[in-house]
Every structure is written in C-alpha cells, then in structure tokens.
Amino acid sequence: MQLQEKIVEKVLFLIALSSILILALITFFIFEEGIPLILKVGPKAFLLGEKWIPSKGLFGIFPMIVSSFWVTLGALLLGIPLGLACTIFLSELIPPSVGTLFRPAIQLLAAIPSVIYGFWGLIVLVPLIRNYMGGPGLSILAGSLVLGFMILPTIITISEDALKALPPSYKAGALALGATHWQTIWRVLIPAARSGIVASVILGMGRAIGETMAMIMILGNAVKMPTSFLDSARTLTTNIGIEMGYASGGHRQALFATGIVLFFIIMALNTLAIFLSKRRAH
C-alpha cells in the first residue's frame, strides 16, 4: 500500500513538474525571440515610441500600451460596480434556492467564446455607439463594454468566495449591535473581505488586458494615441493577433517583444492578486 502511494505521489509530482517545465519553455522561447529586438531598438524607443511602422523599422508600442489600459479601465468602470452588486445580491439578499439558478448562469458567461462576445458587440453595440454618440463605432467604448461583461464571472465568483469565507460572528456581531442588514453588508462585510474583492478585480483586469479575439472585432485597430473613449484603437494583444500571421524578421521579433511586455504586465497583476489573497488568509 505504501509503495502504491509513493508511486502515485511521484507520478503527480512529475505531472506538476511537467507543467512548470512547459511554462518555462514557453517563457524561454518568447524571451529568446523578443529580447534581441528590444536591445537593438532600445527599451526606451520600444516602450515609449509612438510610431509602429515595421516596414520602416519603427517599433514603438506606447499607443498600444495606452490603448490596452484605456480599454481595461473602461471595463473595470463597468465590471467593478456591477460585479460587486451581483456579489452582494447572491451572497446576502437572494434566497438560497434561487441562488442555485443564478450562479450557474453567471458562471456560464465565462464559458461563452470570446468571438461570440465580439460578434454581439459588432452587431449591437457598434451601431448604437455610431448612431447615438458619433465616431466610427468601432471604439474603445465598445471594447470596454464587452470586456466589462466578460470579466464579471471572475469578479463575482472570487468576491463571493471572499464574503463566504468571513466568520459568521462578523455579521452576527454587527446585527447584535443594532446595525441594519445593509449597514452590516456595507460597513462590516465588504471592508472585511476587501483584500479578496481587490484580488478579484486585479484578476479581472488581467483577463481584460489579455483578451484578443473580441477586441480585434470591435476596437477598429487604429495604431494611434487615443484621446477619447470614442476613438478606434489597437491593444497589445490585438496587434500580435493581427500581424503575427504575416510577420517575419525584425517585425516578428517585435511581436514577440510585445509578448514580453504583456508577460510582465500579467505576471505583476497575478503576483499582486496572490499577495492580496494571502493577506486575506492571514
């Protein structure tokens, strides 16, 4: 019996090790392809340059970095209040029997392919924005609205887990002191679960920054510095998705270098989320 347990333990260890090895190989490949271009162009020119003309050797990705954060900011402005409202509703206000119907429906949002979100945005949101707000319609606003719905499952699920992990004494104590149900939620439970909620927002932010297909369809893909939410834009991920199919030489290396920038952004966000989750656990 002990021999079987040791064999299973070793097999599971090798499986876990293989996952780490695959990640390390992917990381090595991206860095091997992208670092030479960054060193050739210069980190400052690459990160802060405003012109992306690969045919002329210009590889400035600053407009795409700004566009990525504009789109993500717009998504968070929609996703945070809506996600927090849904979290409170599911964890504190809805009857448990009804909650069993709502939770799978919300989780189903995460299973919908991103191309479906993009198609819906292209058919519904883009014409509405064009007709009622002006501009081309293919814009940061359209991308932000679609991403706002796409990050809802992440924010709602993790925030609800954070609220459920709180000791029951928090709620009982507040009610015993004469607080109303809403005062207990807003002044006791939400602040106590703050680190978990912030972690969910950060993970949602990482999800938004990494989205590609839906953004290709509805952002307009204009390589320029955005000045308003009605402008067309191109993010870091959409730039890779659009141009990798035909890129070669330095152009191809520049796209891998863009992947390195994304790698560090996502790693920073995930590290921050893990730190906040551990802080909540302690």
**Torsion 35-37-40-45 (CA) sign:** negative
Give residue 1's pLDDT band: very low, low, confident or very high (50, 70, 90): low
Domains of the chain: 52-281 (1.10.3720.10)
Residue 280 is predicted with a pLDDT of 53
Give residue 120's pLDDT band: very low, low, confident or very high (50, 70, 90): very high
The answer to whether 147 and 214 have CB atoms below 8 angstroms apart is yes
* pLDDT (mean) for 154-183: 90
Name beta bridge partners: 220: 233
Name beta bridge partners: 58: 53
- Residues of the chain with pLDDT > 70, as a percent, come to 97
Where do we find the tokens 């995460």? Answer: 110
The answer to whether 151 and 160 have CB atoms below 8 angstroms apart is no
Give 211's contacts (C-beta < 8 A, 6+ positions apart).
Answer: 114, 147, 150, 237
Where do we find the tokens 């730190």? Answer: 275
| pLDDT at residue 281 is higher than 90 | no
Of 154, 69, 73, nearest to 111 by C-alpha is 154
Residue 239 is predicted with a pLDDT of 93
| pLDDT at residue 5 is higher than 90 | no
SS (H, E, C) the chain: CHHHHHHHHHHHHHHHHHHHHHHHHHHHHHHHHHHHHHHHHCHHHHHHCCCEEHHHCEECCHHHHHHHHHHHHHHHHHHHHHHHHHHHHHHHHCCHHHHHHHHHHHHHHHHCCHHHHHHHHHHHHHHHHHHHCCCCCCCHHHHHHHHHHHCHHHHHHHHHHHHHCCCHHHHHHHHHCCCCHHHHHHHHHHHHCHHHHHHHHHHHHHHHHHCCHHHHHHCECCCCCCCCCCCCECCHHHHHHHHCCCCCCHHHHHHHHHHHHHHHHHHHHHHHHHHHHHHHHC
What is the Cα 81 distance to its own chain's centre? 16
Give residue 80's pLDDT band: very low, low, confident or very high (50, 70, 90): very high
